Structure 1
Amino acid sequence: MSQKPLVKKSESQKIQAEKSQENDRPKVRFITIDEEDSGQRIDNFLLKTLKGVPKSHLYRLCRKGEIRVNKKRIKPEYKLAIDDVLRIAPIRISEKKDTVSTGLNIVAKLEKQILFEDDRLIVINKPSGMAVHGGSGLSFGLIEALRALRPDARMLELVHRLDRDTSGCLVVAKKRSALRHLHEQLRTKKVQKFYHALVKGHWPTKLTRVTEALKKNDLKSGERVVVVDNINGKASETRYKVLERYRGATLVRAFPVTGRTHQIRVHCQVSGHSIAMDAKYGHEDFDADMKNKGLTRLFLHAASIEFVHPKTEERMTIEAPLEPSLEKLLTKLVKE
């Protein structure tokens, strides 16, 4: 009698194991395309939806007819339409371990840097020294860290970029429609970004515009340097306003009308007023002085951004406070 319960328990465990195996088996998936996902290529949609499946494997599944739209075979370049029904054959996705841990101190701190968030957008105060995305020897950047913090988000994509050493307002889209909306605003110059920079010397009040054309040069080392080239360069414009004068330095507000690489930094340099601690375009003596006062990073900060919200159509202004190290430096400078 004492053995009967053991036999029953064993049979129960066997049934549970079989059910578990059944549940673990990949199944046919059906996805109906809504307005949010329409208009994009099916291969791009699948790469985001079936995370962990290599692109080459998706192409092979399309060729074999394992992935169909409205019961028909399609090519990887097919553009999805509203109410299309995707049939995706069973695919076993190898689970990739996250290269970014939410336990990492730098990632955990990002949560406190979020300035605004809703179902369409995240605006974050990007720290200096953090690249916006991984690559070029970096295991991860800000966008990968945000994806680790928001694992349930269907998509998170950068709307624009900031240099690695620049801090401040960075916008991330949570929906494809929001990304399209904001990219159109950037194209039509409806987005306004204002930066604060501490520059060398006495910036003249009358110097409100710098319009030197800029050209990118890639060095043999792989480093990218931007130079002034009014013949072959791209038209560029930055507008400036003096915010505060200090002995030997000026805090200016910069508004880039165009969005060229390193634009503000090079326009400051060519005007004879390099930004403090700029490793590429800085002034050695000025940087040494600022370093002695405790500055350890580029003093360029995306202080605010203005745009039209993609859902409410309201004009928004979001501001990012200076990090404490920059505020502390300013208190050490003597005002004029």
Structure 2
Amino acid sequence: MTISERPSKLSLPQENPGVATVLEYLIIKFPYIDAQVWQQRIADGKVHYHDGSLVTAQSPFQPQQRIYYYREVESEPSIPFKEAIVFQDQHILVAYKPHFLPVIPGGIYVNECLQNRLRRSTGIETLQAVHRLDRVTAGLVMFSKDPDSRHHYHRLFATRQIHKTYQAIAMTDASDNLVGQEWEVTNRIVRSEPRFCMRVVEGEANSHSVIRCVQQLGRAALFELHPVTGKTHQLRLHMQGLGWPILNDDYYPKLQPFTADDYSAPLQLLAKQLEFIDPISQQSMCFHYDGELSLPETG
């Protein structure tokens, strides 16, 4: 059994969903966790309030209370790839995240994530990611070090003042001369089924990417991608929509059966550059990961 080193925080909603106790709310909030598991966690003192006092099985539901609990998994995988710090100052830290490592805890990962690794290696307990990358995507992630200035960096992403550059590899028709061509993709992306997948539907566009082919080697092509918006799986769906799904994508165009991670075949998507005006210093900042995706030799 692996238990998270730090508690997860949950704010009870303003509107009561029809429960009498905190326990009842946790059971309906997390339907994939057996009710007996929550009962045992509470009995073991692993659920508490903001002031440290323990939640009991009879604790009443009170709107907007903050609840803290420790996530548990039977067996947590260890990801055999290393992160690297690219830059840090008083306010932020930028790090390279390897393929397969989540940014924050989730699912079967409670301690093995980039945020917790960096907290351990730097000793900065206040370190918090201000944006996300998919677990299977590699590349640059920005963290806030100072809670007092954190909102400035969150706002950069919320107001699209961060210019992001990605690389991706896809298989194309070797007879097509794509190098130098550029595509602008706009469409509407919504949640699909299962819920961790997304899909494109008719309607007002909520996603926007600019994509350019920079190199071809046989059927393999290297693309430079600039997401203007930041919808979940946006670049993966936009590449698929152009007819070139990203190499080793297990979700698109068709969801593949769940298997253990194949570390020899990561998704060929890399968050390569972050560029912005620092909201505090007003200096132009540009962080670049030196690693490259390598085109495979194909016929």
TM-score bracket relative to the smaller structure: 0.5 to 0.7
Report the counterpart of residue 119 of structure 2 in structure 1: 147
Paired residues of 2:186 and 2:205 also in contact (CA < 8 A): no
Amino acid paired to 2:291 = L
Percent of pairs identical after alignment?
Answer: 27
1:308 corresponds, among 277, 285, 289, to: 277
Aligned: 1:252 with 2:227: no
Q: TM-score, normalised by structure 2?
A: 0.66
Amino acid paired to 2:140 = C
* 1:1-336 → structure 2 map (5 Å cutoff): 55-56=48-49, 58=51, 109-110=82-83, 113-140=84-111, 141-151=113-123, 153-201=124-172, 202=176, 204=178, 205-219=180-194, 224-231=196-203, 235-282=206-253, 296-322=265-291, 326-327=293-294, 330=295, 332-333=296-297
Q: Deviations over 1:118-162 (max 9, x none)?
A: 2211101100000111121212211111111122x2511111000
Q: CA RMSD in A?
A: 3.5
Distance in 1 (alpha carbons) for counterparts of 2:80 and 2:279: 27
Amino acid paired to 2:51 = L
Unpaired runs of 5+ residues, structure 1, are 1-40, 42-51, 62-75, 78-96, 285-290
Q: Secondary structure at the match of 1:306?
A: strand
Unpaired runs of 5+ residues, structure 2, are 1-10, 12-44, 55-63, 256-261
Q: Deviations over 1:283-312 (max 9, x none)?
A: 89xxxxxx9xx9611000001001222432
Which has the larger helix fraction? 1
Q: Deviations over 1:33-80 (max 9, x none)?
A: xxxxxxxx9xxxxxxxxxx9964261769xxxxxxxxxxxxxx98xxx
Q: TM-score, normalised by structure 1?
A: 0.60
Paired residues of 2:92 and 2:144 also in contact (CA < 8 A): yes
Distance in 2 (alpha carbons) for counterparts of 1:225 and 1:53: 32
Q: Secondary structure at the match of 2:192?
A: strand
Q: Deviations over 1:296-335 (max 9, x none)?
A: 1100000100122243221111011226xx43xx2x5369
Q: Are residues 60 and 139 of structure 1, via their aligned partners in 2, closer, same or farther at CA, if it must alter by over 3 Å?
A: closer
Shift of 1:227: 0.7
Amino acid paired to 2:128 = E
Paired residues of 1:121 and 1:178 also in contact (CA < 8 A): no
Q: Secondary structure at the match of 1:224?
A: coil
Q: Are residues 146 and 218 of structure 1, via their aligned partners in 2, closer, same or farther at CA, if it must alter by over 3 Å?
A: farther
Aligned length: 228
Shift of 1:176: 1.9
Amino acid paired to 2:285 = M
Paired residues of 1:194 and 1:304 also in contact (CA < 8 A): yes
Paired residues of 1:277 and 1:295 also in contact (CA < 8 A): no
Distance in 1 (alpha carbons) for counterparts of 2:201 and 2:267: 24
Distance in 2 (alpha carbons) for counterparts of 1:117 and 1:308: 15
Which has the larger strand fraction? 2
Distance in 1 (alpha carbons) for counterparts of 2:87 and 2:121: 15
Distance in 1 (alpha carbons) for counterparts of 2:226 and 2:114: 24
Distance in 1 (alpha carbons) for counterparts of 2:277 and 2:270: 22
Paired residues of 2:79 and 2:100 also in contact (CA < 8 A): no
Larger radius of gyration: 1
Q: Secondary structure at the match of 2:223?
A: strand
Q: Are residues 206 and 283 of structure 1, via their aligned partners in 2, closer, same or farther at CA, if it must alter by over 3 Å?
A: farther
Q: Deviations over 1:167-204 (max 9, x none)?
A: 01100110124321111122222101100001121484
Amino acid paired to 2:192 = N
Q: Secondary structure at the match of 1:213?
A: strand
Distance in 1 (alpha carbons) for counterparts of 2:155 and 2:145: 16
